[in-house]
Chains A and B, each alone.
Chain A
Amino acid sequence: MIPAAFDYVRAGSAEEAVSLIAEHGEDAKFLAGGHSLLPLMKLRLAQPTVLIDIGRVNDLSYVRDGGDHVAIGALTRHMDVETSDVLREHAPLLAHAASHVGDPQVRHRGTIGGSIAHADPASDLPAATLALGATYVVQGPNGTREIAAADFYEGFLTTSMAADEMLTEIRVPKMGGAGWGFQKFNRRAQDWAIVGVAAWRRNGDAGVALVNMGSVPILASSVASALAGGASIDDAAEQAAAEADPQADLNASVEYRIHLAKVLTRRALEAASG
C-alpha cells in the first residue's frame, strides 16, 4: 500500500513549522513519528497534499525537571518517555503508560506530541496526561499559549489547537509520591485499549481518566469527587462511566465497556492505594 502523492517539506524549528503550515493551508499536515498519520495515508483514508516533517526539530525532544512539573518536548519518542529517569521518579504513571503504546518498533518512532495532537480517544497518552492534569504548550503564528489537558480534547480526533498551531511541550505536574495505577485492557498486547484507565491518589486527591470510553479521552471526575467525599474504592469505581459516552465496536458492546470501565477503575485505584 502506497500513499497518494504529496509534497514534502522539512521544518528545522517550531517557528518554521508554524509558518509552513500557515503557508500551505488546511490540506497540509505535520509529520512527527508518522505512526498515526502514515497508516491512514497508506490506506488512502488520509490524503494530505503537503507533509511538513517536524521530526528533525531536535530541540523538541527532551524530558526536563521543571520544578513543580516535568516538561516533555512534543517530539520525545515513546521509548524515551518510558525510560526517562526524571519521569520514572516524578510521573511514573506516564512513563508506565508510554511502555504500553503499540509495540517496541512503534515506540522507537512514535512521539508523545504526535499521539496527543492526533487525539485518538483509544490512545493511552492523552488519557494518562489528562488524569495527571497536564498542560499542553502550543505554538502559533503569534507565539505560544498553554491549554489545560481538560480543555484540549473537543471531539473525535479534534482539539482546541488552531489549524496553524503546533504542540511543542507537555507539562505534567509532579506526582509527589502519589500512588498510581494504569489498566489497559486489550486482546493482543500490541492493540489499542478496549478500555483503559489511568489513576492516581494522594491523600484526599485523585485523578482518573479513561481510554476509549467516548469520542475523546474522558476525565472521570465523579470518581475523584466520590473519593474526596470519602467513598470506598468499590463505590467510587461505580461512578467510572458517569462522564463517558462509549460506543460499541467489534470488541465491546456499550454495556461491556461501561462494565469494564468500572472494573478497571477499581483495579487502578486499588493499585494506586496499595
Chain B
Amino acid sequence: MEISVTVNGATHTSDVEPRTLLVHYVREHLGLTGTNVGCDTSSCGACSLHLDGEAVKSCTVLAVQADGTEITTIEGMAAADGTLHPMQQAFMENHGLQCGYCTPGMVMAATSLLQENPSPTEEDIRLGLEGNLCRCTGYHNIVQAVMACAAAPTA
C-alpha cells in the first residue's frame, strides 16, 4: 500500500506492506536508525517518536496508520548546523545517558512532556516518563536533565 509521510520535514512516498510497523518503516525504509526497538509489548518506549507533534510508541503504530502525518524522529531534533536541541543538550550536561539505547525515545518522550506541561514538578516528570525504560541511569540524571531543560529560559 502506498503511503506518504513527512519525516523530519521531508516528504516520503513509499509502498509498504500493511503489517509494516512505523518503527520498521523509519528504520529500514528511510534509514533513520536512531529510533530503537527494545521490546515487543509497547512497554519500553525506546521507539518513541513524534507523530503530529506528540510522542507515540512507533512499535505500536502501523506505517499505514501514519499515512499523511508529520513525524519527527531523533534525527530531526538537532538544528541543521548540528546545534543540539535544548533537551539533547540537557541530557548531555546532566549525564542523562550511558549506553544511549533508550536515549532517543527518552528525549522524544521528554520533549513531548514539556510541550504538554512546560513547568513540571519532579513528580510530574517521573510520571510523565512512566512509559520509557532505562537500564543504565537509574533515571536520576534523566529527571535532572528534564528539570534543567524546563527551567532553562526559552530563546
Contacts and interface: CB of A to CB of B under 8 A. Distances in A.
Contacts of B40: 1, 39, 42-43
A39 B42 contact: yes
Contacts of A10: 64
Nearest to A43: B40
B5 interface: no
Interface stretch (B53-61, B79-87, B89-97, B147-155): B53-61
Interface in A75-112: 79, 102-106, 108-109
Contact of A108 (B18, B24, B54, B132): B54
Contacts of A51: 18, 62
A46 interface: no
Interface of A: 1-8, 10, 31, 34-35, 38-39, 42-43, 51, 53, 55, 79, 102-106, 108-109, 188-190
B113 interface: yes
Contacts, number: 88
A145 to B, nearest CB: 29
Contacts of A39: 40-42, 60
A3 B131 contact: no
B109 interface: yes
B64 A103 contact: no
Interface of B: 1, 17-19, 21, 24, 40-43, 45, 48, 51, 54-57, 59-62, 64-65, 109, 112-113, 116, 127-128, 130-132
Given A39-B41, A55-B65, A190 B17 contact: no
A109 B130 contact: no
Nearest to A10: B64
A34 B65 contact: yes
A42 B42 CA distance: 10
A184 to B, nearest CB: 12
A34 B62 contact: yes
Interface-centre pick from B24, B56, B59, B60 (highest chain A CB count, 10 A) = B60
B42 A106 contact: yes
Given A34-B65, A189-B127, A3 B19 contact: yes
The 3 nearest A-B residue pairs measured at CB: A103-B131, A8-B18, A189-B130
A11 B22 CA distance: 20
Contacts of A188: 130
Nearest to A50: B18
B24 A35 contact: no
A10 B24 CA distance: 21
A214 B56 CA distance: 31
B41 to A, nearest CB: 6
Contacts of B17: 5
17 contacts: A2-B19, A7-B18, A8-B18, A34-B62, A39-B41, A42-B21, A42-B59, A53-B65, A79-B54, A103-B131, A104-B55, A104-B116, A105-B112, A106-B42, A108-B55, A109-B51, A189-B127
A17 to B, nearest CB: 15
Nearest to A38: B60
Nearest to A8: B18
